[in-house]
Structure 1
Amino acid sequence: MSNWEARYATRANRMRASEIRELLKLLDQPDIISYAGGIPDPALFPTEAFRKAYERALADGQAGPALQYSVSEGYAPLREWIAKRLAALGIVCDIDNIVITSGSQQALDYLGKLFLSPSDTALVTSPTYLGALQAFNAYEPQYDQLTPELGNMTPAGYQDTAARNGGRPKFAYINPDFSNPAGETLDRAGRERLLDLADELDIPIIEDAAYQGLRYDGEPVPPILALDIARKGDIDATRTIYCGTFSKTLSPGLRLGFVCAAKPVIRKLVLMKQAADLHSPTINQMAMYHAAVDIYDAQIERLRATYGARRDHVLTALERYMPEGVSWTKPEGGMFIWVTLPEGIDGAKLLARSIETERVAFVPGQAFHADGSGANTIRLSFSLASEEVADTGIARLGRLIRQVMAEL
């Protein structure tokens, strides 16, 4: 069989390689200063805690369950621990409102599959998380833009646009805390406006809370699901679907995330989990539970102190080395700073030149825009940026941008 392309489903035409995953390969080149991948610093992984956690999972009486098939909902003690943590955020739920997934990326894929039919519309911010667009693209949606910080389009406007595209609005997706890629946080008023819009359109909100715990300064904002519960009185009456992960706090390699939502949604996701991979690895769930109980709070404080300082290093370097006409966000947490370049500078072309001449990597911003805009933007990750790395790399990048501006 020689012509595979002719035999793929139509959805395969929308599958694209992640620019970020490709750029991560540059980390193997020791002379590259990389602000590309939004990856945790491996030096901060709680290695000893996980060593002990796996020993406990494999101890006498535990090894059988740890290595056996298990329920698709996930390891009950881990779900109980998650429920208690969420309650402290105002998300009152029980374990039947929670399903464990193989990272929050699997959750986004399942939710795209659950809600999107071809030509339906997903409402997303611009820019938005590239991994969400990749997950949703397989289900052949259209996209429309959310601007909850400014005031969205009218419900009728969204409905009319979706109808012209052959479908209807199906959900709003947002990364409200220190967003990937922009590093911005949606304030409480914006979250309330988004809930109003979702109520009027009668659609779910997918709240991607991957960075929620990584706040370095500023006042915490209640999760959208917490505000929804406050309005409706009970989680099972809400429309917000909260996606969480352990990847940014304890370990990305264990591939564990979770969804918290009304029970009817969780029941559907459990059926999808059964059909896809039966369950996330039980031994990893057990180890994550033991590690979380032992060191989660201390680990969060360690990450906040370290990443907060690294953010400050990069922001200081940007102030020092960037030419006039370049602007950037000032995140209160997370891992990312969003840089807007003067019109006429293409982030992808800048990256190619940067790799060749300055040996500095970053992510071009266009891939984060569903409509293909944003060519003059780039994303910088500061999670691995020591003070020396921040100063040296941003100095080189600033020098290159000055050169390109002079050539315009």
Structure 2
Amino acid sequence: MLNWDNIFATRSSRMRASEIRELLKLLDQPDIISFAGGIPDPALFPDREFKQAYSNIFDSTAVNSALQYSVSEGYKPLREWLVGEMGKLGIACGLDNVFIVSGSQQGLDYLGKLFLSPNDTALVTLPTYLGALQAFNAYEPAYDQLTPNGNRTPASYQAQAKEAGGKVKFAYLSADFSNPTGESVDLEAREKLIKLADEMDIAIIEDAAYQSLRYDGEAIAPILSLEIAEKGDIDKTRTIYCGSFSKTLAPGLRVGFIVANAPVIRKLVLMKQAADLHSSTINQIAIAEVARKGFDAQVAKIKAAYSKRRDVMLAALAKHMPEGVSWTKPEGGMFVWVTLPKGMDGAKLLAKSIETVKVAFVPGRAFFADGSGENTLRMSFSSSNEEKIEEGIARLGKLIAGEIGGA
């Protein structure tokens, strides 16, 4: 009998199904109120603008190049637009520093492949973005906890990595409104991280998927911006900025980007040539047109909607959650992170919640590289209206109160 396990590469054993992707199937059940998927509300997509953009492509001579193979670096007008947008964030860069990927998830996969040999260490926060762990897992790393505000020394990180059989290669984090917690890294911690990375000679991967979605509070400069200000030139920096149009324009087009020093970009281009040659040309052209004509207006529209939903969720949590439950209060993004009393299990709570009160969320353990966090859960407010948020939190609060009372 054919035994595929004897043929698969050893790294395939590190691949796991995403709990979030599985939970997204629940969105098709009309009786479920879902806070599970961290996905944009499709009612807010700029669909008419994209319809016009694609129509313009097919009505012009540009259709031939739009349907043809293209350069691996990405569509030049889109990259030029991104150079301008990065400049607004204090990230002075040129075309050679901008690379288009098929969603920022592909970018994380490429970066894992670029930096990680088996047993090398990736520094990640606890919790961290599940998709990053999935991307990195295929390259068989060890993980250590990144504490941007902590007092870990380079020597302690290096000793742990040596014990695991490799070297520390990078620190990965989402500095603004992170997935899953919604929290942000303050200015002092960003500056400390740059210093730590310099001392250890490692890369920083800055996941900026939610950077545009700030609803209140003062904006903090991206890590790459701070490093450029310190060192004077992007080609002297070690921070790799990963961005996406999925949370602002449309996730289905799968267009993301990486901004970094030129030597890193050149290596990533070689990877893309070997993987899929280039991202969809026609989608890049459409993204470029829609972004050029109305990116700021689109971002303002979704921020107005999501900020209201965040406020409703926070108010509902304060109203309906029993004593002993706490949660984050994000200034942006799509998520609220809930911590249950110790001893409670988010996965078991989810099973009971689906069966009894018809409310879905993501158990928090999936976001911890060390398998901890069983008493946590992630809730997204982006794709539910205010009425459903209030009702769903009320149902969930009643269920949790019953679980606490029955413990």
**Fold conserved between structures, TM > 0.5:** yes
Q: 1:289 is matched with which residue?
A: 288
* SS of residue paired to 2:144: strand
- 1:385: Cα distance to partner? 2.6
CA contact (8 A) 1:216 1:308 kept: yes
SS at match of 1:230: helix
**Partner residue in 2 for 1:124:** 124
User: Could you tell me how far apart the structure 2 residues matched to 1:180 and 1:225 are?
Assistant: 19
Distance 1:132 1:336 in 2: 17
Q: Is the 8 A contact 1:313 1:386 kept in 2?
A: no
Counterpart Cα distance in 2 of 1:106 and 1:384: 24
Alignment of 1:252 onto 2:246: no
Q: Distance in 1 between matches of 2:290 and 2:12?
A: 39
1:54-69 aligned within 5 A: 54-69=54-69
CA distance in 2, matches of 1:21, 1:209: 21
SS for the counterpart of 2:251 is: coil
Instruction: Using the TM superposition, name which of 59-68 and 342-351 deviates more.
Output: 59-68
Q: CA deviation at 1:317?
A: 0.2
CA apart distance, 1:59: 2.6
What is the CA–CA distance in structure 2 between the aligned matches of 1:138 and 1:384, rounded to whole Å?
A: 30
Q: Which residue pairs with 1:188 in the alignment?
A: 187
Report what 1:10 is aligned to: 10
Which residue of structure 2 aligns with residue 25 of structure 1? 25
- Are positions 1:53 and 2:57 aligned together? no
Matched with 2:89 is 89
Q: How many residue pairs are counted as aligned between the two chains?
A: 407
The Cα of 1:58 is off from its aligned counterpart by 2.0
> How many angstroms apart in 2 are the aligned matches of 1:113 and 1:391?
43
The Cα shift of 1:151 comes to 1.9
**Secondary structure in 2 matching 1:253:** helix
Q: C-alpha distance in 2, partners of 1:83/1:390?
A: 38
| Partner residue in 1 for 2:334 | 335
Q: Is the 8 A contact 1:75 1:282 kept in 2?
A: yes
- C-alpha separation between the residues in 2 aligned to 1:104 and 1:322? 35
Q: Distance in 2 between matches of 1:343 and 1:137?
A: 28
**Cα displacement string for residues 110-149 of structure 1 (whole angstroms, at most 9, x for unaligned residues):** 000000000000000000000000000000000000111x
- 1:320, 1:99 → 2: CA distance? 46
* One-letter code aligned to 2:184: T
Match of 1:386 in 2: 385
Distance 1:367 1:323 in 2: 24
The alpha carbon displacement at 1:71 in A equals 0.2
Taking the aligned partners of 2:297 and 2:57, their CA distance within structure 1 comes to 22
**How far off its partner does 1:295 sit?**
1.2
Aligned twin of 1:241: 240
Residue 303 of structure 2 aligns to a residue whose secondary structure is: helix
| Equivalence for 1:39 | 39
Q: Quick one: distance in 1 between partners of 2:150 and 2:57?
A: 49
CA distance in 1, matches of 2:380, 2:5: 36
Which residue of 2 is the match for residue 113 of structure 1?
Answer: 113
1:268-326 per-position Cα deviation (integer Å, ceiling 9, x unaligned): 00000000000001000000000001110100000110000000000000000000000
Aligned residue for 1:161? 160
Please, which runs of 5 or more residues in structure 1 have no aligned partner? none
Give the counterpart letter for 1:67 in structure 2: L
Distance 2:78 2:365 in 1: 38
Deviation at 1:5, TM superposition (A): 1.3
User: 1:45·1:251 contact (CA, 8 Å) conserved in 2?
Assistant: yes
For residues 113-152 of structure 1, the aligned pairs below 5 Å read 113-148=113-148, 150-152=149-151
Distance 1:105 1:119, change over 3 A: same
Aligned pairs for 1:244-283 within 5 A:
244-283=243-282
Correspondence 1:277-356 to 2 at 5 A: 277-356=276-355
Q: SS of the residue aligned with 1:217?
A: coil
Q: Deviations over 1:310-368 (max 9, x none)?
A: 00000000000000000000000000000000001100000000000000000000000
TM-score, normalised by the number of residues in structure 2: 0.99
Letter paired with 1:275: A
For 1:152 and 1:127, locate their aligned partners in 2 and report how far apart those are by CA, in whole Å. Answer: 18
Secondary structure at the aligned position of 2:40 is classed as: coil
RMSD: 0.7
Partner of 1:357: 356
1:380 aligns to what SS in structure 2? Answer: strand
| Counterpart AA for 1:39 | I
Which digits, 9 at most, give the CA deviation of each residue in 1:208-266, with x for residues without a partner? Answer: 00000000000000000000101110000000000000000000000000000000000
| 1:152 Cα deviation after fit | 4.1
**Aligned mates of 1:75, 1:56 — CA distance in 2:** 17
Q: Is the 8 A contact 1:151 1:193 kept in 2?
A: no
Q: Deviations over 1:32-85 (max 9, x none)?
A: 000000000000000010011111222322011000000000000000001100
Letter in 2 for 1:188: L
2:147 & 2:58 partners in 1: Cα distance?
Answer: 49
Structure 2: which amino acid aligns with 1:164? E
What is the rounded CA distance, in whole Å, between the counterparts of 1:152 and 1:122 in structure 2?
Answer: 18
CA separation in 2, counterparts of 1:76 and 1:65? 12
In structure 1, distance between residues paired with 2:10 and 2:181:
31
The residue aligned with 1:375 is 374
